[in-house]
């Protein structure tokens, strides 16, 4: 959520930055609601103070056995007006909050201009895409031939955009998860095991609601929601808390299954592991002091890049332009892994600085050392990595001419010394 004072004090700059995201926001409607609510609050404060003074004066007159009827009528009239103003203020404040919840975060001023991914700026490239002397196969074909992926049975038991991993496919996936968690732990992140079901306040706190309700699975009849990323429970661990400055930074990592309806992705990436309704992911989250968040984002990107480099998977890192950024993001880097079946780089991680946007929604503050006042933390999140996409990239990039898959050296210990995935 944006700071209302920021909108109030400099609406032109806020509007200019939001225009980078190519979204239409009626800031004047927000400011009009704010003006009306503030006017009512001012009158309420004046009336409440006058009623308090009147009540004290009535008590004094009664003690002195003097006539207090006129003053009593005034106090009663003030009370009725207060009740009316409070009834008028409540829906105004609800509408103002609802409008604020629908406004995206503003991007950093130096975020590139652009409407879509075509304007993203490449900032790093690592590794060379493999050149095969044979007809390379897409991961869905090779995975089924090796007996490590089964999309037909997944469709039978659940439907489209689900997968079954079997044998070495399941073991490779588990090895990737363990390796990613260990890699993050060595980078200073604390491992957490969190719920996959969260309440509505948690979805609002990290910005999924109300914007993305159609992409989320709701559990009925209970008011729970399946998480689309571990960012949601990890960030909400500290919702409505005041942290001490000495506790920061808080660096968390968690593995979860993730669930997305993908309502806006009809017809896209229908084969294989790239776009699924259920998938595994290892997520990084940081809560930091505001001035520390730019450096924290760079560190998070480096940690995620380290996973791809250790696996030997070619990738590039891009800085997203305003039009390609998400709802709550102020600055985002995408890591894109090379996928031979696509003949291009495909997103495998997104690392973002959310500034104080989520913290304001979730009420996560900290108390600077030596101060009685509190400030909002900055939150950051990033995938390290999306497990299914990593597995798909591994199968495609490390396939051999005889139809096997080389196991990256860093994963060999997790597979009990196994160096190849072959036919069962």
What whole-number percentage of the chain has pLDDT above 90?
93
- Select from 22, 35, 25 the least CA-distant residue to 2: 25
pLDDT of residue 366: 98
**191 and 270 in a common domain:** yes
CA angle 20, 288, 102 (to 5 degrees): 40
**386 and 290 in a common domain:** yes
The residues facing 283 across adjacent strands are 254, 383
CA distance 273 to 398: 16
Q: Do 259 and 253 form a contact (C-beta atoms < 8 A)?
A: no
CA distance 299 to 293: 10
CA distance 2 to 13: 13
Please state the rounded mean pLDDT for residues 64-69: 89
User: Which stretches does DSSP call E strand in 260-310?
Assistant: 278-288
Number of structural domains (the chain) is: 2
Please state the rounded mean pLDDT for residues 51-57: 93
Q: Which of 101, 135, 167 represents a domain boundary (last residue)?
A: 101
Q: Which of 101, 129, 154 represents a domain boundary (last residue)?
A: 101
Question: Tens digits of per-residue pLDDT, 385-404?
Answer: 999 999 999 999 999 999 99
Is the pLDDT confidence value at 65 over 90?
no
Residue 290 within any structural domain of the chain: yes
**261 and 409 in a common domain:** yes
Cis previous bond, 194, omega within 30 = no
Is the pLDDT confidence value at 266 over 60?
no
pLDDT of residue 324: 97
**192 and 137 in a common domain:** yes
CA distance 136 to 154: 25
**216 and 90 in a common domain:** no
Is the pLDDT confidence value at 267 over 70?
no
The model's confidence at residue 262, banded by pLDDT at 50, 70 and 90, is confident
Annotated binding residues: 229-231, 260-262, 283, 347-350, 381, 383
- Average pLDDT value over all residues in the chain: 95
**240 and 133 in a common domain:** yes
Please state the rounded mean pLDDT for residues 109-125: 97
Is the pLDDT confidence value at 407 over 60?
yes
Residue 15 within any structural domain of the chain: no
Residue 392 within any structural domain of the chain: yes
- Select from 355, 105, 384, 374 the least CA-distant residue to 247: 374
Residue 123 within any structural domain of the chain: yes
Report the CATH number at residue 213: 3.30.930.10
Q: Which residues are catalytic, by number? A: 260, 275, 347, 350, 389
**128 and 187 in a common domain:** yes
Is the pLDDT confidence value at 201 over 70?
yes
The model's confidence at residue 184, banded by pLDDT at 50, 70 and 90, is very high
Annotated binding residues for ATP: 260-262, 347-350
Q: Which of 43, 68, 101 represents a domain boundary (last residue)?
A: 101
Report the CATH number at residue 59: 1.10.287.40
pLDDT of residue 391: 98
Annotated binding residues for L-serine: 229-231, 260, 283, 381, 383
**344 and 276 in a common domain:** yes
Is the pLDDT confidence value at 369 over 80?
yes
Stated pTM of the model = 0.93
- Select from 379, 375, 356, 357 the least CA-distant residue to 366: 375
Residue 4 within any structural domain of the chain: no
**390 and 308 in a common domain:** yes
**122 and 97 in a common domain:** no
CA angle 116, 120, 122 (to 5 degrees): 160
Residue 16 within any structural domain of the chain: no
Domain residues for the domain of 47 are 26-101
pLDDT of residue 268: 58
Residue 314 within any structural domain of the chain: yes
CA distance 67 to 61: 7
Query: Cβ contacts of residue 72 below 8 Å, gap of 6+?
Result: 58
CA distance 269 to 131: 23
**190 and 60 in a common domain:** no
Residue 261 within any structural domain of the chain: yes
Cα radius of gyration (the chain): 27
**341 and 259 in a common domain:** yes
């Amino acid at each position: 959520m944006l700071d209302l004072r920021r909108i109030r004090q400099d609406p032109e700059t806020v509007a200019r930055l939001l225009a980078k995201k190519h979204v239409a926001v009626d800031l004047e409607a927000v400011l009009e609601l704010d003006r009306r609510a503030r006017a009512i609050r001012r009158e309420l404060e004046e009336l409440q103070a006058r009623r308090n003074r009147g009540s004290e004066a009535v008590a004094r007159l009664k003690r002195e056995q003097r006539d207090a009827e006129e003053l009593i009528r005034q106090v009663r009239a003030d009370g009725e007006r207060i009740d009316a103003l409070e009834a008028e203020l409540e829906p105004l404040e609800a509408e103002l909050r609802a409008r604020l919840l629908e406004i995206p975060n503003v991007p950093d001023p130096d975020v590139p201009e652009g409407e879509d991914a075509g304007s993203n700026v490449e900032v790093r490239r690592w590794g060379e895409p493999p050149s095969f002397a044979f007809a390379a196969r897409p991961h869905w074909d090779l995975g089924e031939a090796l007996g490590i992926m089964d999309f037909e049975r997944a469709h039978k038991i659940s439907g489209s955009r689900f997968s079954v991993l079997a044998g070495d496919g399941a073991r490779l996936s588990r090895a990737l998860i363990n390796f990613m968690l260990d890699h993050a732990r060595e980078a200073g992140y604390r491992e957490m095991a969190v719920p996959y079901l969260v309440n509505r306040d948690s979805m609002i706190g990290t910005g999924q609601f109300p914007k993305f309700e159609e992409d989320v699975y709701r559990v009925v009849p209970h008011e729970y929601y399946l998480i689309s990323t571990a960012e949601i429970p990890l960030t909400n661990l500290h919702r409505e808390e005041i942290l001490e400055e000495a506790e920061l930074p808080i660096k968390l990592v968690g593995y979860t299954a993730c669930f997305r309806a993908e309502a806006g992705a009809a017809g896209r990436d229908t084969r294989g592991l790239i776009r699924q309704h259920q998938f595994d992911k290892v997520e990084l989250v940081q809560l930091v002091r505001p001035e520390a968040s730019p450096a924290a984002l760079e560190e998070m990107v480096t940690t995620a890049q380290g996973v791809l480099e250790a696996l030997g998977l070619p990738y590039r890192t891009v800085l997203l332009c305003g039009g390609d950024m998400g709802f709550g993001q102020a600055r985002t880097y995408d890591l894109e892994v090379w996928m031979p079946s696509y003949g291009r780089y495909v997103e495998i991680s997104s690392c973002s600085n959310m500034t104080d946007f989520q913290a304001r929604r979730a009420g996560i503050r900290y108390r600077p050392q030596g101060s009685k006042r509190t400030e909002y933390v900055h939150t950051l999140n990033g995938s390290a990595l999306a497990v299914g996409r990593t597995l798909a990239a591994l199968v495609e990039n490390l396939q051999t001419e005889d139809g096997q898959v080389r196991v990256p050296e860093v994963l060999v210990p997790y597979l009990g010394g196994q160096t190849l995935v072959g036919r069962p």
